[in-house]
């Protein structure tokens, strides 16, 4: 990562730089104001209480006496007011930055390739969007402010001390280097712990997320006790790491505390001697003593600040990784717009493919052509590469060799977004959103009227069962389509794919869970759609492939047979055997 974390943060605070700098100056101001009270006190003491002319001054300069007291009260109010405004400013900037980064990250995630989603686990991504980002916000709102406060308070006090008596001030500073040394040692020790803690949180979130999404499997296998135990282990692990991280400071704290507590001792010893020798006045001694906390406390606070800083360090590294991640499949600089509707001609030319994270090739030298309006059926045993093949068309993945052309143009030359809009895809693993059925069908085309939604539902033989539901198209389906049968979900997913009026319709085992009767209805409907499209249909049933213009049989990533139903039966190969098997068993 090229950009440093603080620079990255600063860049993301764009639009709020001025207010943030004002807020920082505000923090300096209200801390410097802290020392005005002891300053006034010092004068009060020297002039009116313990000085040589105290009694006389009290009698003759009463207005100054009250003036100084009034100034003290006024300054206190003024300071509180600034503190208030300052807190608001820090909060505002941090929230606004958080909002901006979170939106940006979400956007980034949306635009990633399929590979990204198999690399990052959902729980980890959620941690980045929540806990990690909060640590980043905390940096803006609290850590920076605390550093400024501590520095402003300690340094303005030290300046004041130096002005009163530089020798005494120097004596008090002797302790500072030792405290800094301890803080550096602490930092080196705690930094890896924060990184580990952050990892454990992601593991914990992943465990919770996977378990909640997979609740049906857990219940089906009665694995609740196992899952509870598994989560418990993660939770314990996280709690333990959290405790260890928090307790790290305790190893250093006694030394810092002892050193900080030595300050008043130095003041008492050296300051006392100076007082006896009239090097400082009683008022000055009182000022030293009244302000010693303003040097000691920031030093005590350094541990806390360092802790939070390391938390930010670990979290921001994760956030920035996502922030700067780029999809690998991008538009070419001269990518062409798809102006009208695509004809829908698909051509695979010697396409080979393998997933990056595995060495096993999945597709070998695939070549075929689907002419506009044709139906191509793809068949083959499970794991032979059917889904992988169709995922190359919307450029979810890039072929390792060969090229894919749509309307005689290499798909890499199209704008990715537009290419995908021309394709209607009903995936094998149906996912419906927690929305109404109407909303789910119109997902790719939000401007669709209910009438049109119904039309597409009719094409996919879904209108009947949807209309029978008490709330019809307004029925809200649960997360991932809970509340619907497998076949019902498939039909809604088919309607969704049709609703974008694609030039290319891809159905990945979309009718596998519907009964033969309904499947037949769907096939008839697909033949009389009110728009032209090329169809690629992955199916295992002969009833789905029979009427295709071409059937491709895939085996271990190779096309082993290609032709029409009749041609392939005549060939007596794999397809022939499947036909025999299915018609024999199904009695057709």
Q: Scanning the structure block, which residue is given the tokens 């082993």?
A: 560
CA–CA distances in Å: residue 196 to residues 53, 201, 241, 313, 575: 65, 9, 8, 12, 54
3-state secondary structure of 354: strand
385 or 487: CB nearest ligand DGT: 385
Q: Which stretch binds Mg ion (CB under 5 A): 112-120, 141-149, 384-392, 496-504?
A: 384-392
Q: At what angle do helices 516-527 and 450-459 cross, to 10 degrees?
A: 120
One residue of 3, 118, 119, 232 binding ligand DGT per CB under 6 A: 118
Q: Scanning the structure block, which residue is given the tokens 């002969």?
A: 542
**Residues of this chain, 371-390, that bind ligand DGT according to CB under 6 A:** 380, 382-388
Report how many residues bind ligand DGT under the rule CB under 6 A: 14
| For the chain, counts of helices (H) and of strands (E) | 26, 10
272 or 383: CB nearest Mg ion: 383
Which partner, Mg ion, ligand DGT, none, binds residue 426 by CB below 5 to 8 Å per kind?
none
Q: How far is the CB of 383 from ligand DGT (least distance, A)?
A: 4
171 or 423: CB nearest Mg ion: 423
Which partner, ligand DGT, Mg ion, none, binds residue 388 by CB below 5 to 8 Å per kind?
ligand DGT
Q: How far is the CB of 513 from Mg ion (least distance, A)?
A: 14
Q: Are 140 and 101 in contact (CB under 8 A)?
A: no
198 near ligand DGT (CB under 6 A) = no
Q: Which residues pair with 508 in a beta bridge?
A: 538
Which partner, Mg ion, ligand DGT, none, binds residue 385 by CB below 5 to 8 Å per kind?
ligand DGT
Q: How far is the CB of 251 from ligand DGT (least distance, A)?
A: 45
Which partner, Mg ion, ligand DGT, none, binds residue 63 by CB below 5 to 8 Å per kind?
none
428 or 564: CB nearest Mg ion: 428
Indicate left, alpha or beta for 435 from its phi (over 0: left) and psi (-120 to 50: alpha): beta
Which partner, ligand DGT, Mg ion, none, binds residue 339 by CB below 5 to 8 Å per kind?
none
Token pair in block for residue 375: 């139906």
Q: How far is the CB of 28 from ligand DGT (least distance, A)?
A: 54
One residue of 375, 387, 518, 545 binding Mg ion per CB under 5 A: 387
Q: Which stretch binds Mg ion (CB under 5 A): 171-179, 246-254, 261-269, 424-432?
A: 424-432
Whole-angstrom distance, CA of residue 588 vs CA of residue 581: 11
143 or 430: CB nearest ligand DGT: 430
Q: Scanning the structure block, which residue is given the tokens 């992988």?
A: 388
507 near ligand DGT (CB under 6 A) = no
Within 10 Å of residue 476's Cβ, how many Cβ atoms? 14
Q: Scanning the structure block, which residue is given the tokens 């958080």?
A: 98
Contacts of 87 (CB under 8 A, 6+ apart): none
CA–CA distances in Å: residue 482 to residues 27, 222, 479: 53, 19, 6
Token pair in block for residue 362: 């999945």
Which of 569, 560, 565 has its CA nearest to residue 550?
565
Which of 351, 340, 360, 442 has its CA nearest to residue 390?
351
Largest CA distance in the chain: 126
Q: Which stretch binds Mg ion (CB under 5 A): 27-35, 44-52, 379-387, 555-563?
A: 379-387
256 or 378: CB nearest ligand DGT: 378
In 415-527, which ranges are continuous DSSP H helix? 416-421, 437-441, 450-459, 463-468, 486-498, 516-527
278 or 429: CB nearest Mg ion: 429
Which partner, ligand DGT, Mg ion, none, binds residue 358 by CB below 5 to 8 Å per kind?
ligand DGT
- Mask: binding to ligand DGT, 331-370, rule CB under 6 A, as x and -? ------------------------x-xx---x--------
Q: Scanning the structure block, which residue is given the tokens 């010893």?
A: 269
Which partner, ligand DGT, Mg ion, none, binds residue 31 by CB below 5 to 8 Å per kind?
none
The number of angstroms, rounded, from the C-alpha of 422 to the middle of its chain's C-alpha atoms is 29
- Mask: binding to ligand DGT, 455-484, rule CB under 6 A, as x and -? ------------------------------
Whole-angstrom distance, CA of residue 246 vs CA of residue 234: 18
Q: How far is the CB of 428 from Mg ion (least distance, A)?
A: 5
Q: Which stretch binds Mg ion (CB under 5 A): 7-15, 147-155, 320-328, 422-430?
A: 422-430
Q: How far is the CB of 355 from ligand DGT (least distance, A)?
A: 3
Whole-angstrom distance, CA of residue 246 vs CA of residue 192: 13
Q: Are 245 and 195 in contact (CB under 8 A)?
A: no
Q: At what angle do helices 62-110 and 293-323 cross, to 10 degrees?
A: 20
Interacting residues toward ligand DGT by CB under 6 A:
118, 355, 357-358, 362, 380, 382-388, 428
Interacting residues toward Mg ion by CB under 5 A:
387, 428
């Amino acid at each position: 990562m090229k950009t440093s974390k603080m620079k990255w943060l600063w860049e993301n605070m764009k639009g709020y730089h001025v207010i943030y700098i004002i807020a920082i100056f505000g923090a300096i101001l209200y801390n410097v104001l802290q020392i005005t009270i002891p300053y006034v006190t010092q004068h009060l003491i020297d002039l009116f209480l313990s000085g040589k002319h105290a009694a006389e001054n009290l009698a003759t300069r009463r207005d100054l006496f009250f003036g100084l007291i009034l100034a003290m009260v006024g300054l206190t109010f003024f300071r509180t007011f600034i503190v208030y405004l300052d807190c608001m400013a820090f909060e505002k900037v941090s929230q606004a930055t958080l909002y901006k980064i979170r939106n940006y990250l979400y956007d980034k995630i949306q635009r990633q390739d399929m590979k990204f989603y198999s690399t990052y686990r959902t729980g980890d991504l959620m941690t980045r969007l929540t806990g990690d980002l909060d640590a980043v916000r905390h940096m803006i709102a609290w850590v920076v402010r605390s550093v400024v406060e501590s520095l402003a308070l300690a340094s303005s006090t030290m300046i004041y001390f130096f002005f009163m008596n530089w020798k005494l001030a120097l004596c008090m500073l002797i302790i500072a280097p030792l405290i800094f040394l301890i803080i550096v040692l602490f930092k080196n020790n705690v930094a890896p712990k924060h990184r580990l803690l952050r990892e454990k949180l992601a593991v914990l979130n992943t465990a919770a997320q996977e378990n909640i999404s997979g609740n049906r499997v857990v219940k089906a296998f009665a694995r609740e006790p196992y899952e509870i135990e598994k989560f418990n282990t993660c939770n314990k692990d996280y709690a333990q790491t959290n405790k260890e991280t928090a307790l790290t400071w305790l190893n250093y704290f006694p030394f810092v505390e002892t050193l900080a507590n030595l300050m008043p001792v130095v003041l008492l010893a050296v300051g006392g001697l100076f007082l006896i020798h009239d090097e400082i006045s009683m008022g000055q001694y009182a000022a030293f003593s009244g302000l010693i906390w303003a040097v000691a406390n920031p030093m005590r606070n350094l541990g806390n600040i360092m802790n939070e800083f390391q938390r930010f360090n670990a979290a921001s590294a994760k956030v920035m990784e996502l922030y700067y991640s780029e999809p690998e499949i991008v538009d070419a600089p001269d990518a062409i717009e798809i102006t009208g509707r695509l004809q829908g001609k698909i051509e695979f030319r010697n396409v080979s493919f393998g997933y990056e994270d595995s060495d096993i090739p999945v597709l070998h030298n695939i070549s075929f052509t689907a002419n506009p309006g044709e139906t191509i059926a793809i068949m083959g045993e499970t794991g032979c590469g059917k889904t992988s093949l169709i995922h190359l068309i919307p450029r979810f993945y890039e072929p390792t060799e060969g090229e894919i052309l749509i309307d005689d143009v290499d798909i890499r030359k199209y704008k990715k977004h537009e290419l995908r809009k021309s394709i209607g895809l009903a995936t094998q693993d149906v996912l419906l959103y927690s929305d109404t059925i109407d909303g789910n069908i119109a997902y790719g085309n939000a401007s669709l009227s209910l009438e049109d939604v119904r039309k597409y539902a009719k094409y996919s033989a879904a209108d009947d069962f949807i209309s029978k539901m008490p709330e019809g198209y307004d029925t809200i389906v649960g997360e991932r389509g809970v509340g619907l049968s497998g076949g019902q979900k498939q039909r809604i997913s088919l309607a969704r794919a049709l609703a974008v009026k694609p030039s290319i319709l891809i159905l990945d085992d979309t009718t596998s869970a519907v009964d033969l009767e309904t499947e037949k209805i769907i096939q008839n409907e697909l033949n009389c759609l009110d728009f032209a499209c090329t169809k690629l249909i992955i199916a295992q049933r002969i009833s789905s492939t029979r009427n295709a213009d071409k059937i491709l049989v895939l085996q271990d990533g190779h096309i082993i047979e290609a032709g029409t139903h009749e041609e392939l039966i005549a060939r007596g190969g794999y397809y022939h055997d499947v036909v025999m098997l299915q018609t024999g068993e199904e009695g057709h």
